[in-house]
Structure 1
């Protein structure tokens, strides 16, 4: 009979150890899954921020191409005018002029159709950022709850420590990032856009060597020298309107000029190339959303900022013949970034700590097996030794069950962190423009372990400081007893290892010994100082989260969902059908109109209409 009881005790010990291991794995999985959602939400903000910048650059490209088409059309127009005096060239220049005019019309129609579409996409992305961020406010507790339930329906994540941990995480998430729509923030985003422009948009400059391959940069026919210069550029412009809001404009300019200089000598200045003359050959400019960059002087002349370094006269002509694109454009939209953009906030973290527990009556020990024994040890001796309950084993667990706590964090981890040699003296601080947010599990601090332990005994907290101090002493005593037990087990395992010859058995014993060594090292590394533990517990409980201990997770989750739904509902309705119809209708209409114009012009040209 004693051997049977011994087997039952071993069975109970194994079941308890197995449940403890499964609880730990479940807690780790729940923390990791909850934080993965938050990391993905932050990376979503980064991807959408980059997408909005790319879309702004694409609008700049469309305006640039439209400006270039305008310039090319005027250049061919000027060449066709000169061909009036060179009759051999006139038929060719006339056809080229008509074709370039139609190309310019097609480019304008497509540009005017696409700019509102791309701008509308940016509006959708801006609203999606807010909807995702607000929805994530409630998603983490729901994910934690679901992961725990999917692992085992007997497991709970509604302890005071778990609710406090999720409450702290929710408050940290709420304060981690924010939507920026103020003047300085939008100008900061506009600076990112201007610095992200491609070469064609930023500076489409071509010198004589590129225009005439094999030629020198300047052709000298003494005492004069000549060169051709092509210059072009587009900018995103911001101007504060009458209402105080920022007005946005994309503007492009393109010019081509013939330059000449004459070599002259004078007594006062000596000899050198002087008397610079510019002969404009082609020019063009287009803009979207109003040309507020230019201002009138006292004499009524329009003064515009200079884009060109050499083709100043051609630029003046481009300003005079500048055309506005008939397209809706709203400029830089509101976007999300970290709430704290200071240099001190280089490495912010989002922490989540939870506790998963299993009540004592749900642990599948021998006492829960039907017909094996009663739920308690019999009080009276049985006559035959096989009465009900004779094999009963009394289950006693600290805290009336088994529990496991887990911690994790979201952190910013750029690729250069994997290879520090690539940094070259640079270090990228955390931001919401690069999707480098990752998740990792972390070690739970000793004060947090004590906090979880203390919250399971309401008497410790209701008795005030004296109760907490007494609890700290009990907590430390239990940890010391656990350490002593593990050290004895370590010694026994080491003796078994030394006396065992079989390789398979040695490997099994070594594996157990390694696990015990890790637990011992963990316990020995903790600072079990009474004053520190008491002070840290009181500090953690006094940070406005202790009230969460009286709130059930389901109720807490429901409140978060209601808040997120209330905040994000209006955005969901706005962008669901906003883009699809606009893309289809406007682009189809523009292309049909452009094709009809081109066909009519071609028929008229070839048949003498």
Structure 2
């Protein structure tokens, strides 16, 4: 029985060894799991580094994109403000021209009223009470005329002198700001904005091939300046623009044709007031004239018939003034308000046009050469737009990826590549013309006389994207 028991134990021991050999044994199982774990760990680290780097790049790109959008919008806002400044400046220049016209008009009318009262005093010399009153009125009128003339002589150079007048300074400031709204100036604005977001960012405006330079233009010819003259004339009030006209039938004074014609309007004499203000055709001189005369009718006999002819029988009031850029002409060139209906009074006004000889009336610079939209060069003259393309960049080394932080080494380093070793972002700002929502509901087309230029972000065009890609790569 001992021999049988020993044989059984030997067979069991051999069976156990055979089973262990068939299954590979516990030691061989532990070695294979370690290799698999190392592979999975390596893949997990790569995935972790990739996700970390991707997140860092995405966050950096988003910050750069936001900065580029802010820069493009700010650049567009600056350009819109420059265009609005042009509009305000043009309006202010129109106001200065209107003020010069008003100063000349008031001077002319003050001279007219003074001469009117002096003549009336002489005519009333046969009635001492009336003459005494008119003498006081004439003295007051003389003082008012002198004060008006002196004030106008001081005001005209301040508003319209060729070099240092307010409207000349406005026109030159337009040219200065126009340069600031070009690509170089907007690039400086864009760079300042992105650096305020991150000192490591840099931005500039992509060249537009002279598109903005052709968006506006400065008046070059007298035909261009005529447009500004028309705006000025339309802005004058009724008294300045004229005609300052009045026709009164003098019923107590019968004419030389009284009862001798069927036209009863010629039976009596007429008081005719004429006056007006005009800008001469060369656009370099304002003149104003005011006259008042009594007109009579006299019979003119011909060989076969006779007629009643009107003539200026008595000159009562006259006055004229001018603002020019040279020596005074002392002559009325226009027929503003039909002033030559009173030819005698107009001649007298011409002789006294220089007044007291104040030199301020000789320092008017003429209609300015302001800036306006270049309608001929615009794709849509009614609602034009101008765009600025902003490129923002950041050094690729500043992106805190796994490689930049030296977290992964050797085979754990990821392949990273930025265009030009930089991170780039693109944005487009657009300037457009639109009345504000609170304005009256009516359509107004774009011009540089209305300050309704606004800014917004726009979607880049295919051509702009291609230009940016060519620059980056």
Superposition TM-score tier, normalisation by shorter sequence: 0.7 to 0.9
Partner of 2:468: 452
* SS of aligned partner of 2:364: coil
Partner of 2:111: 70
Which structure 2 residue ranges, 5 or more long, are not aligned? 1-40, 252-257
Partner of 2:424: 403
* SS of aligned partner of 2:414: coil
Does residue 127 of structure 2 align to residue 86 of structure 1? yes
Do 1:181 and 1:333's aligned partners in 2 also have CA atoms closer than 8 Å? no
Which stretch shifts more, 110-119 or 63-72? 110-119
Pick one of 274, 289, 292 that aligns with 1:231: 274
Shift of 1:59: 0.6
* SS of aligned partner of 2:206: helix
Residues in 2 aligned to 1:186 and 1:456: alpha-carbon distance in whole angstroms:
45
Over 3 Å counting, the alpha-carbon distance change for 1:47 and 1:65 in structure 2 is same
Pick one of 133, 148, 158 that aligns with 2:194: 148
Does residue 352 of structure 2 align to residue 306 of structure 1? no
Do 2:103 and 2:152's aligned partners in 1 also have CA atoms closer than 8 Å? yes
Residues in 1 aligned to 2:136 and 2:438: alpha-carbon distance in whole angstroms:
60
Partner of 2:240: 201
Over 3 Å counting, the alpha-carbon distance change for 1:404 and 1:100 in structure 2 is same
Does residue 212 of structure 2 align to residue 173 of structure 1? yes
Pick one of 458, 461, 465 that aligns with 1:442: 458
Residues in 1 aligned to 2:100 and 2:186: alpha-carbon distance in whole angstroms:
37
Partner of 1:573: none
* SS of aligned partner of 1:422: coil
Residues in 2 aligned to 1:124 and 1:231: alpha-carbon distance in whole angstroms:
36
Over 3 Å counting, the alpha-carbon distance change for 1:450 and 1:175 in structure 2 is closer
Shift of 1:147: 1.3
Partner of 1:100: 141
Which whole-Å deviations, capped at 9, do the CAs of 1:457-504 have from their partners, x for residues lacking one? Answer: 4xxxxxxxxxxxxxxxxxxxxxxxxxxxxxxxxxxxxxxxxxxxxxxx
- Name the larger-Rg structure: 2
Shift of 1:225: 4.7
Residues in 2 aligned to 1:447 and 1:335: alpha-carbon distance in whole angstroms:
33
* SS of aligned partner of 1:168: coil
Residues in 1 aligned to 2:83 and 2:390: alpha-carbon distance in whole angstroms:
21
Residues in 2 aligned to 1:422 and 1:331: alpha-carbon distance in whole angstroms:
34
Do 1:283 and 1:317's aligned partners in 2 also have CA atoms closer than 8 Å? yes
TM-score when scaled to structure 1? 0.57
Residues in 2 aligned to 1:308 and 1:150: alpha-carbon distance in whole angstroms:
62
Shift of 1:367: 5.3
Residues in 1 aligned to 2:297 and 2:435: alpha-carbon distance in whole angstroms:
53
Residues in 2 aligned to 1:418 and 1:397: alpha-carbon distance in whole angstroms:
52
* SS of aligned partner of 2:212: helix
Shift of 1:74: 0.4
Residues in 2 aligned to 1:292 and 1:93: alpha-carbon distance in whole angstroms:
32
Over 3 Å counting, the alpha-carbon distance change for 1:229 and 1:439 in structure 2 is same
Which whole-Å deviations, capped at 9, do the CAs of 1:252-306 have from their partners, x for residues lacking one? Answer: 111234456799xxxx999xx9654554432211223345495xxxxxxxx8442
Which whole-Å deviations, capped at 9, do the CAs of 1:442-466 have from their partners, x for residues lacking one? Answer: 1112343344345444xxxxxxxxx
Does residue 386 of structure 2 align to residue 350 of structure 1? yes
Shift of 1:72: 0.3
Structure with the bigger percentage of helix: 1
Residues in 1 aligned to 2:353 and 2:467: alpha-carbon distance in whole angstroms:
70
Pick one of 178, 185, 190 that aligns with 2:229: 190
Shift of 1:204: 5.0
Do 1:181 and 1:334's aligned partners in 2 also have CA atoms closer than 8 Å? yes
Over 3 Å counting, the alpha-carbon distance change for 1:453 and 1:166 in structure 2 is closer
Pick one of 300, 322, 325 that aligns with 2:353: 322
Shift of 1:152: 1.4
TM-score when scaled to structure 2? 0.72
Which structure 1 residue ranges, 5 or more long, are not aligned? 216-220, 240-245, 295-302, 380-391, 458-609
Q: CA RMSD in A?
A: 4.1
Do 1:225 and 1:262's aligned partners in 2 also have CA atoms closer than 8 Å? no
Correspondence 1:456-605 to 2 at 5 A? 456-457=472-473
Shift of 1:9: 5.6
Residues in 2 aligned to 1:7 and 1:375: alpha-carbon distance in whole angstroms:
11
Shift of 1:7: 6.7
Residues in 1 aligned to 2:467 and 2:377: alpha-carbon distance in whole angstroms:
32
Shift of 1:86: 0.9
* SS of aligned partner of 1:256: strand
Do 2:75 and 2:429's aligned partners in 1 also have CA atoms closer than 8 Å? no
